[in-house]
């Protein structure tokens, strides 16, 4: 897995004491974690501004799963990167209801969250949920539809039962519509995260994530067919981070530095996956209920998708407005949207662009 370079500021020595310098490390590819410290790695002025932003609550997309946009945030907290930037961050595990998470952020109950992909942000906006998109990790659909190998045409799913996690992922619905499936003829039921219901025949199709359920089924020796939206020309994204609009408007540096610390931890976890997954396991309470090996696979699968889908010359987290426009169009074509929105009114790419020089993350903050 390739790692990103971290651009260290030449004025660090003037901004921080030697204890703070220990936090920054020489490179995110270091084999050992930088020691945590209460010392600030940024200027007194920026530190004061970040402290004035107050408590920042991040709700994860799903529990403490080792996904991109979850594990790196957990690691940034554990490694002291948020502290180094004078940010007071609390992480709350989400239930998987990303639509509900966006409502928490819109209401100000939470500050930031991962809503899934850009299509989920588009749908939230169309439903009147006021959040601002500030970053996107992966620029390919993370969702997949799993069936038994006996299904060779998606139209065979008409008259059968499909299991989903509370709502049919928009990319999956668009794929079905494009293949001529009458979705109204499919019985949809809400299911949990145990994919064994598919090989047991309790459902005939099952939505999931490329980095999760297929890995579990493969480990159990079950053979399935995956139907991936991108194979049918359906665009998609994952790891879309949204924030409370009032917060980001009032706290630009804190918003930048939340992403800065998270992406710095992302780089570290690329080459220290087991250690970072250990942080998540500790938060989850440890024990057999947290599958460390599986979660290492989750992280490695998702970061590989991020790397593969990232346009050349763009840094991690960049909002791709061209891709978002394509997602909006497929949502319109599949009748999930009634009109094309002006995405500039609820996205802000400035926070990501402010923390990079080219594709080099600036660490610490200027």
**Is residue 67 included in any domain, yes or no?**
yes
User: Do residues 120 and 181 both lie within one domain?
Assistant: no
**Same domain assignment for residues 130 and 148:** no
* Helix residue spans in 81-194 (DSSP H): 81-84, 98-107, 118-126, 170-178
> End of a domain among 177, 211, 232?
232
Q: Same domain, yes or no, for 19 and 153? A: no
97 and 83 housed in the same domain: yes
* pLDDT of the chain, 366 residues: tens digit per residue: 444 445 554 333 333 333 333 333 333 333 345 544 445 789 999 999 999 999 999 999 999 999 999 999 999 999 999 999 999 999 999 988 888 999 999 999 999 999 989 999 999 999 999 999 999 999 999 999 999 999 999 999 999 999 998 889 888 998 999 899 999 999 999 998 899 999 999 999 999 999 999 999 999 999 999 999 999 999 999 999 999 999 999 999 999 999 999 999 999 999 999 999 999 999 998 777 899 999 999 999 999 999 999 999 999 999 998 999 999 998 898 888 999 999 999 999 999 999 999 999 999 988
One-character DSSP codes across 259-289:
HHHHHHHHHHHHS-HHHHHHHHHHHTT-STT
11 and 100 fall within a common domain: yes
Give, in degrees to the nearest 5, the angle at Cα 70 between 189 and 259: 130
pLDDT at 336: 86
Question: What pLDDT is recorded for position 137?
Answer: 98
Is residue 1 a part of any domain in this protein?
no
Q: What is the CATH number of the domain that holds 122?
A: 3.40.190.10
Digit-coded pLDDT (tens) for 273-298: 999 999 999 999 877 789 999 999 99
Coil, helix or strand for 350? helix
Q: What is the mean pLDDT of the chain?
A: 89
3-state percent breakdown (helix, strand, coil) of the chain, nearest 5:
40, 15, 40
12 shares a domain with 108: yes
Domain limits for position 150: 143-232
Provide the pLDDT for residue 8: 54
Query: d(Cα 319, Cα 152) in Å, to the nearest integer?
Result: 36
Give yes or no: residues 226 and 255 share one domain: no
Q: Quote the number of domains for the chain.
A: 2
Do residues 98 and 63 share a domain?
yes
Instruction: Calculate Rg over the CA atoms of the chain.
Output: 21
From 170, 204, 232, give the residue that closes a domain: 232
Instruction: Select from 173, 169, 197 the least CA-distant residue to 184.
Output: 173
Residues 136 and 260 in one domain: yes
pTM of the model: 0.85
Domain boundary residue, one of 232, 259, 287: 232
């Amino acid at each position: 897995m390739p790692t990103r370079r971290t651009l260290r500021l030449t004025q660090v020595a003037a901004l921080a004491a030697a204890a703070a310098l220990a936090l920054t490390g020489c490179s995110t590819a270091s084999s050992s974690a930088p020691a945590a410290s209460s010392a600030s790695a940024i200027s007194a002025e920026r530190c004061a501004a970040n402290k004035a932003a107050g408590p920042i609550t991040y709700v994860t997309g799903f529990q403490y799963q080792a996904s991109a946009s979850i594990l790196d945030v957990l690691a940034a907290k554990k490694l002291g990167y948020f502290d180094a930037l004078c940010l007071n961050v609390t992480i709350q595990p989400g239930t998987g209801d990303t639509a509900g998470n966006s409502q928490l952020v819109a209401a100000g109950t939470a500050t930031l969250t991962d809503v899934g992909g850009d299509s989920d942000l588009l749908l939230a906006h169309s439903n009147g949920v006021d959040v601002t998109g500030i970053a996107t990790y992966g620029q390919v659909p993370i969702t997949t539809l799993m069936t038994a190998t006996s299904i060779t045409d998606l139209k065979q799913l008409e008259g059968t039962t499909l299991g989903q996690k509370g709502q049919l992922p928009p990319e999956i619905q668009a794929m079905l519509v494009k293949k001529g499936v009458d979705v109204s003829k499919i019985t949809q039921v809400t299911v949990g995260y145990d994919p064994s219901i598919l090989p047991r025949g309790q459902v005939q199709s099952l939505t999931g994530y490329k980095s999760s359920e297929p890995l579990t089924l493969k480990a159990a020796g079950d053979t399935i067919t995956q139907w991936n939206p991108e194979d049918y020309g359906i665009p998609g994204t994952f790891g879309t981070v949204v924030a409370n609009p009032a917060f980001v408007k009032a706290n630009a540096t804190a918003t930048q530095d939340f992403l800065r610390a998270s992406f710095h931890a992302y780089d570290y976890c690329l080459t220290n996956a087991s250690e970072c997954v250990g942080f998540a396991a500790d938060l989850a309470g440890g024990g057999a209920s947290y599958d460390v090996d599986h979660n290492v696979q989750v992280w490695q699968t998702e970061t590989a998708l991020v790397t593969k889908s990232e346009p050349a010359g763009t840094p991690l987290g960049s909002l791709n407005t061209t891709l978002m426009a394509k997602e909006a169009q497929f949502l319109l074509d599949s009748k999930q949207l009634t009109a094309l929105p002006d995405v500039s009114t609820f996205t802000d790419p400035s926070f990501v662009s402010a923390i990079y020089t080219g594709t080099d993350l600036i660490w610490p903050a200027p």
